[in-house]
A = this chain, B = another copy of it.
Amino acid sequence: MSLNILVIGGVALGPKAAARAKRLLPDSTITMIDQGEYISYGGCGIPYFVGGDVPQMNGLRTTNAGVVRDEAFFRELKGVNAICHTRALSIDRRGKTVTVEDTKTGEQRQLAYDKLVIATGSSPRIPPIPGHDLKNVTSVTCLEAAQAVQQQCAASKVSHAVIIGAGFIGLEMAVALADMWGIKVTVIEMLDHILPAQLCKNFSKMAQYDLEKLGVTVLTGETVKELKGKDGAVCQVITDKRVLDAEEVIFSIGVTPNSKIASDAGIACHPRGGILVNSHMQTSDPDIYAGGDVVVVRNLISGDLSYLPLGSMANRQGRVIGTNVAGGDATFEGVVGSWCVKLNKMHASGAGLTLHQARMAGFDAIEVCMEGTDKAHFYPGHTNVSLAVIVDRKSQRVLGIQGISDNGEAVKARTDAVAAMLQIGKPTLNDLSNLEVCYAPPFASAMDVINAAGNVAENVVSGRHHYISPDDFVELWEKRDENHYFFVDARPPKAGKPIEARHPGQYLSLPMEEFNERAAREIPTDRPVALICNTGTRAYEMQLKLREMGIETVNSAGGHTALRKRGDEEKF
C-alpha cells in the first residue's frame, strides 16, 4: 500500500510516528514539517544542558550512536522527507491539503495528504503582566531559549534568577541555575505548595526543604504582578509581597495545546483547548490523527479528560499513530499520570490522582503518608523512602501514589508498579499490601515499603489507626499551650529524652520497651494525647495499647523522620 502521509510537527511525537509508519509501509511517502530550526530533540533534557550535565546542546539532538537528528538524518536513515522552517497555516479537510508557509521567505504552498498527523505540541503559558516580553524573560521550552539562558549564565551576567511557577521545568531549572552557576534563585508559586498538581503538601514541604538546602528560596502563596526592565532587559520582579532583583526570569506555569489549526478546520476539540482523539489517536476526522502535547486524553482513574503534556507520552502515542496511519491496529487507552523529577538531593515521583484531583473526581478520598526504607534495614546504604497513598475510603480502591526519597530509583520502582496496576485495573489496598515486587535485601525489605504503605493505609481507612499529618502534628505542637495536648515519644530514650528535657510536662519520652511498666502511671487521662515515634510504627502499636486502656490518641504520620525531611525538627 502506498500512502501519502503528512506529519505537522518534528519534535517527539512527529518523528516517532513518521519513522514507524515508514518502517511499516516502505512504499509510502512521508513528509514531516516543522516551523523551527531544530527537530527531534529531547526537550526534557534542557535543564540538564543548562545545568551542565549535558555538556553540548547537540547532546539533546543526537541518537545514542552520536548522529545528529536533522533533516538529512531523517531523509537518509529514516526515509522521511523532513522539512524545517515550515509552518502549517491551515488544513483543507475536503481537499486533503495543508497550506504551509516557509518561515524564512514567507512563501506559501499546499501539501497534499492521504493521512495527516497533527503533532503541533504546545506553547508555554505567559501571563499578560507588564514586562513579560522583556529580554531575558523566557520559558526555556525550546533549544534556542535554552542556549540563550546558558550563554547568559556562562557570561556571568546572571546573579539573581526568578522562576515563576513551581512545576517540573521550574524546579529543574532552579536546581540547574543554583547548582551549576551559583546563582541566587527564587521560586515563586501562586498556590500554597510547590508541585501543587503533583505532590501532597507534606511531601511538597520535603521537596522545598531539599531545594532550600541548595540555597534556593521558595515563596508560596505569592503572585507576580510585574516585571521591571532596564535597557529593555528584565531587572526586577514585583510580587504582591516584595520586590526581587532578577537578571533572568523563567516562566514555568504550564503549557497550552497548539490546537487552533485543528479547531479552525472543524476538528473536534476540548472547549478549553486540545484535540479530542479516540483510543486509536484518531481525531473526529478519521484521516487525521493527533497526539502528544496537542491532545487531551482520558484519565483511566477518574474517567475524565485530562491534559498531560509529557515527552514520554508523546513518544508512546507517536508509535501508536505510526502503526495506525499505516493501517495497523494499536490503541492508546488513556493515562494514569505518572511523573518523576530530580530535585537537589531528593527525587520525587507519582502516579494517579492527587487527593485534590480524587475529590474533584467525586471520590471519598484520603491521603495516607508513611516512611519506610528502600532496602532491608540491615543492608548497608539503605535509605529512607516516603510514600503517600491516595485511596477511596469506602471501596479501598487505590487512586494514586506519590513518593520522595534521596534514592530516586527506589521511589520510581514503587511508583511504576502502582502506575502499572492503575493502568490495567482497579487496584485495592489489598492488592497494594500483596503487590509482588521483587525482593532481595539489597533492593527491598521482606515487607516492601509499598506493601507497608498499603498496610498503613488499610489501618487508617479501617479506623484502627488514628493518624494525623505532619502539618497537623506541628500545628498541635505549636499551639500546645492552648490545646493542652500531651506529647508522647515512643522512640528509644536517646532520641526522646533531649526533647523531654526542653519541654517538661508537655513532652514525655516513653520508649515502647518501657510502656507496660510506666504508661499507666505517666500518661495523663485528662488531656488529649499525641504520639510520635521514628516513622510511625511504634507509635501505632502504642496507640492500640493505649486504646485498650481507654485512652484515645493521635499519631503523627511518618514520625520524626518525616519532620526531619521537612526541616521541622528544630521546632521540638
Contact = CB atoms under 8 A, between A and B. Distances in A.
Interface of A: 12, 16, 23-24, 26, 42, 44-45, 48, 53-54, 59-60, 62-67, 76-78, 168, 310-316, 319-320, 330-333, 335-342, 347, 349-351, 373, 376-380, 407-410, 412-421, 423-425, 427, 430-431, 433-444, 446-448, 451, 455, 464, 491-492, 512-513, 516, 534, 538, 541, 544-545, 548
Q: How many copies altogether?
A: 2
Contacts of A447: 16, 312, 315-316, 319
Contacts of A67: 513
Contact of A544 (B12, B23, B319, B332): B23
A53 B379 contact: yes
A332 B373 CA distance: 24
A441 B331 contact: no
A316 to B, nearest CB: 5
A45 B376 CA distance: 8
A285 to B, nearest CB: 23
Nearest to A427: B424
Given A23-B541, A316-B451, A431-B424, A438 B378 contact: no
Contact of A349 (B60, B419, B438, B441): B438
Contacts of A380: 53-54
Contacts of A534: 64-65
A76 B516 CA distance: 8
Contacts of A26: 544-545, 548
B442 A342 contact: yes
A77 B541 contact: yes
B320 A434 contact: yes
A437 B411 CA distance: 12
A438 B425 contact: no
B48 A441 contact: yes
Contact of A437 (B42, B342, B416, B437): B416
Contacts of A313: 436
Given A16-B447, A26-B544, A414-B416, A434 B64 contact: no
Contacts of A407: 409
A348 to B, nearest CB: 10
A318 to B, nearest CB: 9
A418 B416 CA distance: 9
A380 to B, nearest CB: 5
A423 B320 CA distance: 25
